[in-house]
Amino acid sequence: MLPPTRLRPPARILPGLAALSGFTAIAVGAVAAHAVRDPQAKAWLATAVQFQLPHAAAVFALLGWRDTNGVRAGAWLLLAGSLMFAASLDLLAFGLPRSVSALAPVGGLTMMAGWLLLAVTGFRSRAGANV
């Protein structure tokens, strides 16, 4: 058994991916601000960053809130949804066919499912319980 201060290998994936998501959001925002000239592409990238960065940060807040299946599942849904949403807009801005934009609503619905799961988890937990 691993000491409590070390995360199990699967448990390290979520914060690692959330950190990479935050990094990617900052990098895309910088490219949009300094290298992209097309106004529509800039708008798509800005929207992607506006959804991706706060959701990456939310994953870390959730990991500190409580360690339960409901919270972990909600955090995974937030991360997956924000990555799908942002990636579809990023790819669209960088010239891929408009068909990639079909991933945006799936990402949005995935984020919404994550927030609903977290709401249910929060309402179902008892004070002081680690549900």
Q: What is the DSSP string of the chain?
A: ---TTSPPHHHHHHHHHHHHHHHHHHHHHHHHHHT---HHHHHHHHHHHHHHHHHHHHHHHHHHH---HHHHHHHHHHHHHHHHHHHHHHHHHTT--GGGGGHHHHHHHHHHHHHHHHHHHHHHSPTT---
Torsion angle of the four alpha carbons 81, 83, 89, 95, in this order, in degrees rounded to the nearest 10: -140
pLDDT at 131 (0 to 100) = 47
pLDDT digits (tens, 9 = 90+) for 69-86: 999 999 999 999 999 999
As a whole number, mean pLDDT of residues 88-99 equals 95
Residue 8 has pLDDT above 80, yes or no: no
Q: Residue ranges of the domains in the chain?
A: 15-124
pTM of the predicted structure, to 2 decimals: 0.86
| Number of Cβ atoms within 10 Å of the Cβ of 32 | 20
pLDDT digits (tens, 9 = 90+) for 29-70: 999 999 999 999 999 999 999 999 999 999 999 999 888 999
pLDDT at 130 (0 to 100) = 53
